[in-house]
Amino acid sequence: MYVDSHCHLSFPELRSRLPEIRAEMAAVGVDRALCICTTLEEFDSVHALATEHDNFWCSAGVHPDSESVREPSVDDLLVLTALPKVVAIGETGLDYYRLEGRSIAEMEWQRERFRVHIRAARAARRPLVIHTRSASVDTLEVLRQEGGGEAGGVFHCFTETAEVARGALDLGFYVSFSGILTFKSAHELREVARMVPLDRCLIETDSPYLAPVPYRGKVNSPAYVPWVARQLAEIKGVGVEIVAEQTSANFEALFMRDGS
């Protein structure tokens, strides 16, 4: 049985096909999924997925790329994480990929938003779902400054270097691999995956984006997460059932800490 530790089932292209996707998941042994929140405005629809389905859980948070949306306070996040089936804070982090002419100094709003999420995660004793793109040095720095290691969590859809992976592992975080791991060009990422201990790995789809080979370019869904597991198993030189079992156990250890 596989767990998709990061998907966006509330996005219209997936939400509109939910019964079909759930049937596909069941058919290939994907028995659980974590539905990720990207704005406060979106939270109710993400939370509904988790409350309406036994095998879905969700997070609460505002993505660093979400602009012109309501800015969360620590209290906002604490109220949401107290609700049933909300097991994580995020996705949060830093993304300097789309600066659109701004300097990194001008992205202080992103760092401040990230700090708010870390403070909430510490107060709520919930893990963080971290998004980092073109900003790994600052992401690790802000986590260290704010004591993010106390909350723990996962660096999702990992595409960074081995050094960044070590930084995340040293802070006690898990590292999650997506369909990118199966892309032909992802040699360096496969080397990083070789280095990350299996008991600190998670697997995810980040669907609807980043469908793994052989579905690359198509709309992704949690039913494709076994392709990520198969690739990770090949890298680790173990059977896919070992990867399925260990990443599922890791998911439980990280997100089901208090039996939620």
Binding site for Zn ion (CB under 5 A): 36, 91, 131, 206
3-state secondary structure of 43: helix
Closest to Zn ion by CB, 4 or 91: 91
Shortest CB 260 distance to Zn ion, Å = 21
Closest to Zn ion by CB, 205 or 233: 205
Shortest CB 206 distance to Zn ion, Å = 5
Closest to Zn ion by CB, 36 or 233: 36
Shortest CB 241 distance to Zn ion, Å = 27
Q: Which residues contact 162 (CB under 8 A, 6 or more apart)?
A: 191, 192, 195
Closest to Zn ion by CB, 94 or 233: 94
At residue 62, φ and ψ (nearest 5 deg) are: -125, 120
d(CA 237, CA 161): 21
Q: Which residue is nearest to Zn ion (CB)?
A: 131
Shortest CB 25 distance to Zn ion, Å = 18
Residue with tokens 């949401």, as numbered in its chain:
80
Cα 225 to Cα 49, 58, 119, 141, 188, distances in angstroms: 19, 17, 31, 31, 21
Which of these, 148, 165, 198, 202, lies nearest to 6 by C-alpha position? 202
Shortest CB 220 distance to Zn ion, Å = 11
At residue 245, φ and ψ (nearest 5 deg) are: -65, -45
Length of the chain: 260
Closest to Zn ion by CB, 30 or 36: 36
